[in-house]
Amino acid sequence: MDKRLLAFLEKQYRKYAILSPITVIGEVIIEVYLPFLMAKIVDVGIPNMDMAYIRRMGILMIVLAVIALLLGVLSGVFAAIASTGLSKGIRKALFSKIQDFSFANIDKFSTASLITRTTTDVNNIQLSFMMIIRILMRAPVMLICSAVMAYRINPSLSRVFLIIIPLLAIAMGLIGYATFRKFKEMLTHYDSMNKSVQENLIGIRVVKSFVRKAYENNKFLLALTNVRTTQMQAEGRSFFIFPVLMFFTYASVISIAWFGGRQIMVGTMHAGQFFSFISYSSQILMSMMMIAMIFVSIILSRASAVRVMEVLDEEIDIKDNPDSTVQLEDGSIEFKDVDFSYAKSMDSLVLTNINLSIKSGETVGIIGGTGSAKSTLVQLIPRLYDTTSGTILVGGHDVKDYALRTLRDGVSMVLQNNVLFSGSIEENLKWGNPDATHEEVVAACKSACADDFINSFPEGYNTDLGQGGVNVSGGQKQRLCIARALIKNPKILILDDSTSAVDTATDKKIREAFSKYHAETTKIIIAQRVSSVIEADKIIVMDDGKINAIGTHDELLADNKIYQEVYYSQRGVA
Ligand SMILES: Nc1ncnc2c1ncn2[C@@H]1O[C@H](COP(=O)(O)OP(=O)(O)OP(=O)(O)O)[C@@H](O)[C@H]1O
Ligand SMILES: [Mg+2]
């Protein structure tokens, strides 16, 4: 396990991580001492028929056993507090790191994997940490104390362990290694099972509408079978631990009986010593088994620790400038020789040589085939991604000079596949500006043509949207997303295909509201329909990551082939 993870053990839980092993040591010392008292009873109390002595020793043994029990329970409780505290700290760090992730960082890990890492992997670490603080101390302390006690009772007989312990260590090592390999295999199958569950739950509606249930069930069944087979094989291997341990236990009992029996016969050893020697030998072997088990568990959680650290170590590629005082003064935008690649390599450019100038308050339309990099172009403006080369100025300053908060408050973007969150309509709309008054919310909804349908719901603005906003239609969702963007009162408003599910008449009304109530705001409208951009001050025609032409509707219709093609193909509906 990565030591750096321990740094996430919050202060208030740290003492428990220390108290737990300490109580364990107390428990072990008592456990080791008990056979010694037993030997006293057999060797001193019984031959002398000293009932008072036997009673005294018996009571002492009971008291010590109860104390050991309490210490054992305490150490368990402390270990649970410490390990759950650790997982809480790690999850907190992961979540806050992911919040800082840029889109590029998220693309790299994928959402599903980030979920598994914050849940399952942290669980593995928690379990293994608990084992470590409970058993890692217990086993070696028990091993050493029992060995010392055994040696004190009979040094010559203890030589039996010199042979048994190395042999047992080798056997445990082999079993542990074989089990670990299978467990590792199981974890990869576990990953694909998780992926299947996540994908299906996120996309359950698609799965149903494509009637893919049988196919998806089979896929899941395969992943399940793989997990089951490898888990069974792994556990099958680990089952050897117990019989092997038993074998060595009996081997040592027989050897001790053989050599110890002779010593009793010649009178160099007492019967009580003989029995406690046997107890110590089983304690020694038990602790060997625990060491083997903990070894396997540490290696198992290592895979999870690596996955968690990958997220925590990830370099955030969009660096914020939180202390910058640069203010967004107007909504002008300028692209200077901008190239962009998602892979950050100049060989796979998605945008090439973009030069563009937009004045504050202008309405700009963007038209272009699917995959022509329209979304990519506008995502650079609020710095959802950074340019690979070239600069973008917003309000006259390089976007990198702003604090991200200032920039993103000023640039409101309705993403192409936008989401709403569970909660009421009003709560969702106030995401953009928590201080907005109800009147401002209503005004934004009127501009976005959402007020009417919101009022048609029995609970109006308090209607609960359900997870991911499932309670509204596609077009209604788009209008809510536009309203949410408007509430920020942005200098720049970017709509990425945000009215595709809205009928043309409503679409027109929304645009009219924009020019009436948001005249100062620079508006960038990406659209598939020419009718959505026809009145724009300028229209950008994108083709394969390049600007093909910029002009007004009339200019482009006169001499741009791509625009003419799109326009005439839509004229029937436009
Ligand atoms: N997150 C991403 N990682 C890697 N490549 C991407 C990513 N998003 C988009 N691309 C690629 O970049 C290119 C441009 O995509 P973009 O989404 O900008 O196109 P678009 O013009 O908005 O298309 P559409 O009209 O379908 O929305 C596409 O070839 C796409 O495969
Ligand atoms: Mg797009």
Confidence of residue 450 (pLDDT cuts 50, 70, 90): very high
Instruction: Read off the pLDDT of each residue in 116-123 and give the average, rounded to a whole number.
Output: 88
Residue 528, both tokens = 């598939």
- Name the residue of 102, 110, 342 to mutate for ligand 1: max ligand atoms within 8 A of Cβ: 342
Q: In terms of domains, do 52 and 103 share one? A: yes
pTM exceeds 0.75, yes or no: no
| Distance from Cα 380 to the centre of ligand 1, integer Å | 13
Residue 383, pLDDT score: 93
The 522-526 sheet, strands edge to edge:
411-414, 492-496, 522-526, 363-368, 538-543, 546-551
Residue 34 domain-assigned (yes or no): yes
Beta bridge pairs of residue 411? 492
- Give the ligand 1 atom nearest the CA of 376: 18
Nearest CA to ligand 1 atom 31: 371
Which of 313, 346, 364 is the last residue in one of the domains?
313
In this structure, of 113-122, 324-333, 350-359, 364-373, the range with the lowest mean pLDDT score is 113-122
Residue 560 domain-assigned (yes or no): yes
Residue 421 predicted with pLDDT over 90: no
Q: In terms of domains, do 134 and 200 share one? A: yes
Q: In terms of domains, do 101 and 209 share one? A: yes
Q: What is the CATH number of the domain that holds 370?
A: 3.40.50.300
Residue 327 domain-assigned (yes or no): no
Q: Is the beta carbon of 283 within 6 A of some atom in ligand 1?
A: no
Instruction: Read off the pLDDT of each residue in 135-164 and give the average, rounded to a whole number.
Output: 85
Residue 561, pLDDT score: 92
- Give the ligand 1 atom nearest the CA of 343: 4
Residue 573 predicted with pLDDT over 70: no
Residue 320 domain-assigned (yes or no): no
Confidence of residue 185 (pLDDT cuts 50, 70, 90): confident
- Residues 26 and 311: their CA atoms lie apart, in Å, by 39
Residue 574 predicted with pLDDT over 60: no
Q: Is the beta carbon of 370 within 6 A of some atom in ligand 1?
A: yes
Q: What integer best gives the mean pLDDT of the chain? A: 88
**Residue 432: closest CA among 490, 377, 364, 392:** 490
Confidence of residue 1 (pLDDT cuts 50, 70, 90): low
Beta bridge pairs of residue 368? 542
Amino acid at 120: T
How many CA atoms lie less than 13 Å away from 461 in the CB half-sphere?
18
Instruction: Read off the pLDDT of each residue in 268-283 and give the average, rounded to a whole number.
Output: 84
Q: In terms of domains, do 187 and 253 share one? A: yes
In this structure, of 59-63, 234-238, 560-564, the range with the lowest mean pLDDT score is 234-238
Residue 307 predicted with pLDDT over 90: no
- φ/ψ bin of 497: left (φ > 0), alpha (ψ from -120 to 50), beta (otherwise): left
Q: Is the beta carbon of 416 within 6 A of some atom in ligand 1?
A: yes
Confidence of residue 382 (pLDDT cuts 50, 70, 90): very high
- Residues 129 and 80: their CA atoms lie apart, in Å, by 9
Beta bridge pairs of residue 398? 393
Q: In terms of domains, do 289 and 356 share one? A: no
Q: In terms of domains, do 298 and 354 share one? A: no
- Residues 514 and 172: their CA atoms lie apart, in Å, by 74
Instruction: Read off the pLDDT of each residue in 143-163 and give the average, rounded to a whole number.
Output: 86
Q: In terms of domains, do 528 and 556 share one? A: yes
Nearest CA to ligand 1 atom 14: 373
In this structure, of 254-258, 339-343, 543-547, the range with the lowest mean pLDDT score is 254-258
Residue 420, both tokens = 């709403």
Tally of CB atoms within 10 A around 169 = 13
Residue 328 domain-assigned (yes or no): no
Q: In terms of domains, do 357 and 241 share one? A: no
Sign of the four-CA dihedral 51, 54, 56, 58: negative
pLDDT in tens, 96-106: 999 989 888 88
pLDDT in tens, 331-365: 999 999 999 999 887 888 999 999 999 999 999 99
Instruction: Please say whether the beta carbons of 498 and 527 come within 8 A.
Output: no
Q: Is the beta carbon of 368 within 6 A of some atom in ligand 1?
A: yes
Instruction: Please say whether the beta carbons of 566 and 527 come within 8 A.
Output: no
- Residues 10 and 94: their CA atoms lie apart, in Å, by 14
In this structure, of 49-58, 270-279, 364-373, 503-512, the range with the lowest mean pLDDT score is 270-279
Residue 41, both tokens = 């009873």
φ and ψ at residue 270, rounded to 5 degrees: -95, 160
Print the domain residue range for 252.
3-313
Give the 3-state secondary structure of residue 292.
helix
Residue 3, pLDDT score: 77
Residue 191 predicted with pLDDT over 80: no
Confidence of residue 287 (pLDDT cuts 50, 70, 90): confident
CA distances from 92 to 6, 115, 131 (A): 13, 13, 22
- φ/ψ bin of 542: left (φ > 0), alpha (ψ from -120 to 50), beta (otherwise): beta
Residue 283 predicted with pLDDT over 90: no
- Name the residue of 318, 339, 374 to mutate for ligand 1: max ligand atoms within 8 A of Cβ: 374
CA distances from 344 to 21, 109, 384 (A): 49, 16, 14
Residue 295 domain-assigned (yes or no): yes
Q: In terms of domains, do 301 and 360 share one? A: no
Q: In terms of domains, do 305 and 188 share one? A: yes
Q: What is the CATH number of the domain that holds 235?
A: 1.20.1560.10
Written in H, E and C, the secondary structure of 337-348 is EEEECCCCCHHH
- Name the residue of 375, 525, 542 to mutate for ligand 1: max ligand atoms within 8 A of Cβ: 375
Residue 239 domain-assigned (yes or no): yes
- Residues 330 and 360: their CA atoms lie apart, in Å, by 6
Residue 162 domain-assigned (yes or no): yes
Residue 86, pLDDT score: 94
pLDDT in tens, 463-493: 988 777 777 888 899 999 999 999 988 999 9
CA distances from 102 to 318, 339, 383 (A): 6, 18, 9
- Residues 127 and 148: their CA atoms lie apart, in Å, by 31
Q: In terms of domains, do 485 and 527 share one? A: yes
pLDDT in tens, 202-232: 777 777 777 778 888 888 888 889 989 988 8
Q: What is the largest CA-CA distance in the chain?
A: 121
Beta bridge pairs of residue 547? 542
Nearest CA to ligand 1 atom 1: 107
- Name the residue of 107, 376, 526 to mutate for ligand 1: max ligand atoms within 8 A of Cβ: 376
Q: Is the beta carbon of 379 within 6 A of some atom in ligand 1?
A: no
Q: In terms of domains, do 305 and 393 share one? A: no
Residue 505 predicted with pLDDT over 50: yes
Instruction: Read off the pLDDT of each residue in 112-125 and give the average, rounded to a whole number.
Output: 86
- Give the ligand 1 atom nearest the CA of 416: 27
Residue 547, both tokens = 């600007």
Q: Is the beta carbon of 107 within 6 A of some atom in ligand 1?
A: yes
Which of 279, 313, 347 is the last residue in one of the domains?
313
Total domains in the chain come to 2
Percentage of the chain modeled with pLDDT above 90: 40
Give the 3-state secondary structure of residue 465.
coil
Instruction: Please say whether the beta carbons of 441 and 430 come within 8 A.
Output: yes
Instruction: Read off the pLDDT of each residue in 20-44 and give the average, rounded to a whole number.
Output: 86
Nearest CA to ligand 1 atom 3: 342
Instruction: Read off the pLDDT of each residue in 52-67 and give the average, rounded to a whole number.
Output: 92
- Residues 44 and 24: their CA atoms lie apart, in Å, by 30
Return the higher-pLDDT residue of 150 and 470.
150
Helix axes 51-100, 122-131, angle to 10 degrees: 160
Residue 2, pLDDT score: 67
Residue 445, pLDDT score: 93
Nearest CA to ligand 1 atom 18: 373
Instruction: Read off the pLDDT of each residue in 526-546 and give the average, rounded to a whole number.
Output: 92
| Distance from Cα 469 to the centre of ligand 2, integer Å | 21
